[in-house]
Amino acid sequence: MHIVVCLKQVLDPEISPRYFKIDPKTNRPEDGSSDMVMDSYAENALETAIQLRDSVEGATVTALCLGDEETEDVLRRALAFTADQAVRVWDDDWEDLDGQAVGHILAKTIIALGGADLVLTGYQASDIEEGLVGPVIAEELGNSCVTLVSELAIENSAFRVTCEAENGYAIIDVPSPAVLTIVSSEKNVPRLPKVKDIRLSRSKPIKELEADDIELDFERCQPAVSLERVYVPNRDVACEVLTGEDGMELAHELAGRLLELKVL
Amino acid sequence: MANVLIFADQQGGSLSSYAREALAFGNLISVATNGELGSVLFGPGAETGAKETIACGASKAYTIGSPLVEDYQVEHYLDAICAAFIQSGSDILILPFDRKGKDLIGRIATRLSASAITEVVDFKAENGELIWVRPIYGDKAYGEYKSNRKKIVVGIRVKSQEQAVPDENRSGEIIPVIYTNQNDIVVAKLVEKIENSLAGIRLEDARIIVSGGRGLGGPEGFEVLKDLANVLGGTVGASRAACDAGWVPSNFQVGQTGAVVAPDLYIAIGISGASQHLSGITNAKTVVAINNDSEAPIFKRANLGVVADYKTVVPALSEELKKKLGIKVG
């Protein structure tokens, strides 16, 4: 079984709004405003992939990332998680892609890699938060797709997934090949890589592919939507910090303010 | 001119609140573009819903009464929505970006070679073009987007719009769409549906939410929060960190990937205010933060703040409110 997990490098989402600024020339966050990290849902997807690989004899995990050289950190981390192979696909013309174009390129890259029995992505990335890439890959590959998956197992040769549904959860059997988008759960908390695996990850090769190595549809590589403007709204609320000597006094103050505001 | 089609989902024999939001949003767009507003409804109750969408502003309501789309089945929904969109000749398809929208929008857009944009909260009409506004970077910024394709599929952020108000005097046309796809396209098979184990009010519908985070220090902290929620007639929520730690089930999660909420009162206890949590409470009216870290980002969003250990404040607050609200102890 070949499992491909699609990873993304993002600006650390925990950057304080205080330090978050947009460069008006590039419409992107200003350089140096924070570290670049592996997107957290992508990390959940990677953990899910590794756990499944370890439970199925002969299964392999390929970590795939669309990005320039800087994104190799994400792939090294995936190798430290014990991914079997790391692949980076990039072309200098791909600076301003949207989720649909990324989905197209990733799907075609997966085909160039010989296909996959299972493709995992994070449910959405914490920068642009479109939630489109997984479903687009599924449609491009003609695979079935389940989104918002929190648990994954194999049952009677189908993937048995637990996913969020209206008013609760659903358990769904989905045949291979499939695309799943992953959310965080108690079962896929990312592991802490072993020192040995981190060391090994530094020397493992990263396979590089370019636009010419895959059969792309030029039209579908163009962004379907363009970002025209970005702005940071001033949304700070003037927080009224209550004062008091102890918990009792603070509770008294708070109860009084809530009643005054007529929110109860 | 751009014609707009709304996917109007129903719940319990009536339009869902998200469908009403989509209709209100679609109305604004069709007015701005001098276009026509249409709706598409599924299942044996489609005709009733169709009349409701007409009362909410649709001039044409497309109905697919086939039992194949009675229950949600992604492959059938995909096919049927695409068929209705093509038949209606619309330019813009709008769906709520809810559980179904998350499955469908990227796939519909890819199938129809349309563009897709999600989490939309507003739009502008500029020089004959529509500009779509959506939050990015965990709601720290807003992006304004233009479509490069003729057709677009728009997912609107749930709880971001007012709901359409029906006017029974409006008239419109109900147009049945024939959908005869075969059952064998169903590839993902539902094994079991598990209803939310949360007793009482759904987070999405709650008027008051008392939410806990990592600062509670363990699952026992949620007992204290439950007491306060009981006093207030509210429900209990949690941050992703508290759910990931296994202190409460993940269906308690408030935030971008959990429940997106819009209560009158949101009390965040021991929650630092990670961006994904803040995106889930964007539309909360009054936010109270109780946290012993005065630098926590939640205080940037809160209207009222208490910097203290929750263990000293929350039980005392429950007692105080019991007295003030005239609730009998025990």
pLDDT in tens, A56-82: 999 999 999 999 999 999 999 999 999
Q: At A264, is the pLDDT very low, low, confident or very high (cuts 50, 70, 90)?
A: confident
pTM exceeds 0.95: no
Q: At B325, is the pLDDT very low, low, confident or very high (cuts 50, 70, 90)?
A: confident
Residue contact A131–B106, C-beta within 8 A = yes
CB contacts < 8 A (A, B):
271
Residue A190 DSSP one-character state: P
| Cβ atoms A14, B276 nearer than 8 A | no
Q: At A33, is the pLDDT very low, low, confident or very high (cuts 50, 70, 90)?
A: low
Region A190-199: mean pLDDT is: 96
Residue A203 has pLDDT above 90, yes or no: yes
Shortest distance, CA B296 to any CA of chain A (angstroms): 9
Residue B200 has what pLDDT?
60
Residue A166 has pLDDT above 80, yes or no: no
* B313: amino acid identity, one letter: V
- Closest Cβ opposite residue B321 in set A127, A173, A255: A255
Residue B197 has what pLDDT?
52
Residues of B (140-169) whose Cβ lies below 8 Å from A? 140-149, 152
What's the CA gap between B245 and B252, in Å, rounded?
Answer: 12
Q: Is B112 on the interface with A (CB under 8 A)?
A: no
CA distances from A4 to A153, A179, A190 (A): 16, 9, 17
Tell me the two tokens of residue B141.
Answer: 């910024």
Residue contact B193–A11, C-beta within 8 A = no
Chain B contact set for A166 (CB, 8 A)? 72, 98-100
Q: Is B206 on the interface with A (CB under 8 A)?
A: no
Q: What average pLDDT does the structure give for chain A?
A: 93
What's the CA gap between B66 and B179, in Å, rounded?
Answer: 7
Residue B183 has what pLDDT?
62
Region A167-182: mean pLDDT is: 93
Chain A contact set for B321 (CB, 8 A)? 255, 258, 264
- Span B155-204, pLDDT tens digits: 999 989 999 999 999 999 999 999 988 666 888 888 888 876 545 678 88
- Span A218-257, pLDDT tens digits: 999 999 999 999 999 876 678 999 999 999 999 999 999 9
- Closest Cβ opposite residue B140 in set A139, A173, A232: A232
Phi-psi label, residue B137: left if phi above 0, alpha if psi -120 to 50, beta otherwise = left
The 3-state DSSP class for residue B157 equals: coil
Between B42-56, B132-146, B183-197, B208-222, the lowest mean confidence (pLDDT) is in B183-197
Chain A contact set for B311 (CB, 8 A)? 247
* B294: amino acid identity, one letter: S
| Cβ atoms A7, A64 nearer than 8 A | yes
Between B26-35, B72-81, B193-202, the lowest mean confidence (pLDDT) is in B193-202
Q: What average pLDDT does the structure give for chain B?
A: 92
Q: Is B48 on the interface with A (CB under 8 A)?
A: no
Residue B327 has pLDDT above 80, yes or no: no
Give CA A141 to chain center in angstroms.
Answer: 19
* B275: amino acid identity, one letter: S
Region B62-83: mean pLDDT is: 94
Tell me the two tokens of residue A176.
Answer: 């291979």
Shortest distance, CA B329 to any CA of chain A (angstroms): 17
| Cβ atoms B242, B216 nearer than 8 A | yes
> Which of A158-163's residues contact partners 24+ apart within 8 Å by CB, and which partners?
A159/A118, A160/B191
Residue B190 has what pLDDT?
87
Number of Cβ within 10 Å of residue A184's Cβ equals 26
Complex-level ipTM: 0.92
- Closest Cβ opposite residue A241 in set B110, B117, B307: B307
- Span B128-139, pLDDT tens digits: 899 999 999 988
- Which of A105, A146, A239 to mutate against chain B (most B CBs within 10 Å)? A239
